Structures are given as C-alpha cells and as structure tokens.
Amino acid sequence: MLIGIIGAPNKGKSTLFSALTMNDVAIADYPFTTIDPNSGIAYATHECAEVKLKVKCRARNSLCVSGTRMIPVNVIDVAGLVEGAHEGRGMGNQFLNDLAAADAFMLVVDASGRTDSSGGAAQHGSAVEDAEMVVSELYQWLSGIIMKHMPAMSKSKDGVSALEAVLTGLKISRQSVERAIGKCNLTSSNISWSSADALEFSRALLDESKPVAIIANKADAGSDTISNVRALRERFGDASVFECSAAIEMALRKASSARVISYLPGSRSFEIIGSGVSPEQKKALDYMLSFLKGSERGTGVQSALDSIVFKVLDNIVVYPVEDENKYTDHFGNVLPDAILLKRGSTALDLAAAIHTDLAKHMLYAVDAVKKMRIGKEQELHDGDVVKIVSAAR
C-alpha cells in the first residue's frame, strides 16, 4: 500500500511526512522545499488481536504497543503542486509521475489561511481553492495521458483493454475502468472521446481508484481555521476532511522518542516522564496538551492515516498463524504478523498475500479462534486469526 502526500507548496506536506514517518526531511517556510520525493514508512493503528484473545503477542512484521497494533504503510511526499503542473509548470510532470503508484492521497491544505495557492504569504488564503486546484491538476494530468493515446485506442474494439494498457503503471484495475466508463455513459469500443469526455472519465476514474483525503493542516495557527475547515467540509464532505496539526504531532513524537514524554500517536493526552524539563519546554508542552484536549482526534494526523487505510480504502487486519491452538508461527511467535487485506478478501487471498506458492498449493484454512475448518473462498473478517493449510513445502 502506498499513500501519496500531495498539495500546493508550503502547506506542511513535509512536516506531515516527518510526523508520520519520523524521517528527517527538509522543512522550511518557503515553496519547493521538497524537490526529489521522500519515501518512508508510517504506521496505521488497530486494536491487536491479543486484546480479545487475552494473550501477549510477539509482533514480527509490525509493532504492538499496549494492545495497539501498528501496521506499516508506505508513504511518499512529493514536490509542491502549482497550477499548470500538468503542462509542466513548477515540478510539473515529475510531481505527477511520482504519484502514479499511490493507492490514495493525503491532500494537505493550509487551514490557517496564511499562504496562497502558490505557497506565498497571505492573510486570508482559501483552503478550498488550494484543494480544488490540486484535484483539478490530477484530473487534467490523467486526461492528458488518455488524450495522448487516443489515436491508438480508437483502433481497438476492446476499449477497456486499450485503456488498461495505457494506465498499466497507475495501479488502476479493469473493474475501476469499467465502472468509470459506465458512470460517464461513454463508449468502450473504438474509443474516440473528446477532451471533455476524457476529462470527465478522468474525474470518475480517479475518484473511483485513488481517493483523496483533505488534510486541513496548521489547525493550531491562524484565525481563519474554523471558517476554512467549515468551507472544506461543505465542499468535500465531513468524512473527507481531517483537521490536523502536523507540527504538533511531529513535536510530540520527537519528545516521545527522546523520552521526555510518553505519547501514543493518536492519543488526546501524554505524560511528562523526563526530568529536567525547562520552563520553556513545559510551556510548549502545555500548549500542545491544550490543543489535544480541545480536539476529538488529537492532532488529527494518526486519525487521518487510520481513516484512509481502514475506511477510505476499506482494509481489514488478519493474523496468519501456523499453530491454531497457540496462535503462533513456526518459531513460537504469538500473532507474529498483521496483514492488511481489502474487505471481502478470502482465505485464498490471504495465502496469496503471504506467498504465491502457498496460494497455488492451498488445500483449506482454519479459523483459529473458532477452531473451524474453512474453505479457500471463505470471506475473512477484521481481526480473524487464520491458519493456511497447503501442500506446498
């Protein structure tokens, strides 16, 4: 899974990336701090199966802190997007091509209103205009790719397959292509669409295959935050907008890493555990604690990531084991791996996620909690613990 962090320049994308991954990247108060894309690992959080099973896990492919499983997710932070990027302005096509493999986007806007759409200083910048500009560039970028290949596609009776070939590097499924064509009532044979048709199809396809979550960043600064967040929710819907402070989240994670505080990402509080905290540090920590307690989602950063992974992309967590009685792997590790799967996935899909040979030679599976044998096509559910039985060695 890959989440792309996008947005106009100077909206806090690199700060969000650092907060999520704890990677050191260039962060500055001017446009185009990021030139080459930054990639790293963030962690989606989910209640660990150890809680319900009343055992102590020994996580291997993930982390577990106080019953919360932290599951790795790839993230990429790319150069700031300016209007006209699809035509090569700013970082242009480099920016857009870096995003081709993303499954979803975190679109960062400045909720404080202190920057304009180009990243320059402003007094009352519009977060809605920022978001609409970025989304429009994404649509026009994809539309441009499609129009470039239109002459060749017009010669194919199987337009869906022709589009699949054009979009092969964008992680877009045939089903998504078919649904987008149907939604737009466009022909799928000998495709010869107008530019307006291609743009409409691009909107439908990106909305279908690469959902966007709006990160209303810098929510701790500026008097325009409330009005900007309200306008974003009216435009994009409540479920798509996340009020955040990436700067506070990054400061809290650094303080936790330095053992100054005890803080679990996503929490609405923390505990000072370090000695020798200066008056200035205490004042800053009090400010951050006040912000956390005044928000339903803490800093909003972890909540946004979790919502993208589990709600927007509709994933579940499944735990494969070898011993269905002890919930262990071959080495005796309890609940060692947490695997993200699309909701509706089967036991066979789990086997394939572990290893292709395991899936190829799979015989059946065992629900380790219910101690029941299940078939290869049995749909799995969130939190399931499953043993795969295969003839593969």
Classify residue 348: in a domain, yes or no: yes
pLDDT at 101: 85
Tokens 């304009």 belong to 116
170 — pLDDT class (breaks 50, 70, 90) = confident
Let me know if residue 195 belongs to a domain.
no
**pLDDT value, residue 295:** 86
pLDDT band of 29, cuts 50, 70, 90: very low
Residue 372 within a domain: yes
Could you give the angle at which helices 279-293 and 246-257 cross, rounded to 10 degrees? 130
Q: Flag whether pLDDT at 135 surpasses 80.
A: yes
Q: Which two tokens stand for residue 277?
A: 């905290």
Q: What is the CATH number of the domain that holds 379?
A: 3.10.20.30
pLDDT of residue 104 exceeding 60, the answer is yes
**Residue 91 counted as domain residue:** no
Location of structure tokens 């540090």 = 281
What are the pLDDT digits (tens) for 200-241? 999 999 998 999 999 999 998 767 889 999 999 999 999 999
Domain that holds residue 373: 316-390
pLDDT over threshold 60, residue 363: yes
What is the predicted pLDDT for the residue at 27? 37
354 assigned to some structural domain: yes
Query: Quick one: average pLDDT of 96-109?
Result: 86
369 found inside a domain? yes
Report the share of the chain in percent with pLDDT over 70: 92
> Is residue 7 left, alpha or beta, with left meaning phi > 0 and alpha meaning psi from -120 to 50?
left
Tally of structural domains, the chain: 1
Q: Is residue 102 part of a domain?
A: no
The residue ranges of DSSP E strands in 182-239, in sequence order, are 212-217
Cα–Cα distances in Å, from 46 out to 67, 68, 101, 135, 338? 9, 6, 25, 30, 10
Assign 33 to helix, strand or coil. Answer: coil
Q: What is the mean pLDDT of residues 259-267?
A: 92
- The pLDDT-based confidence of 151 (bands split at 50, 70, 90) is very high
Tens-digit pLDDT profile for residues 332-354: 999 999 999 999 999 999 999 99
C-alpha distance across the termini of the chain, in Å: 28
What local confidence, expressed as pLDDT, does residue 85 receive?
Answer: 60
Buried b (16+ CB within 10 A) or exposed e, 164-176: bebbeebebeeeb
Q: What is the mean pLDDT of the segment spanning 103-117?
A: 89
CB atoms within 10 A of CB 92: 18
Assigned domain for 63 exists: no
Please compute the mean of the pLDDT values over residues 63-78 and round it to a whole number.
92
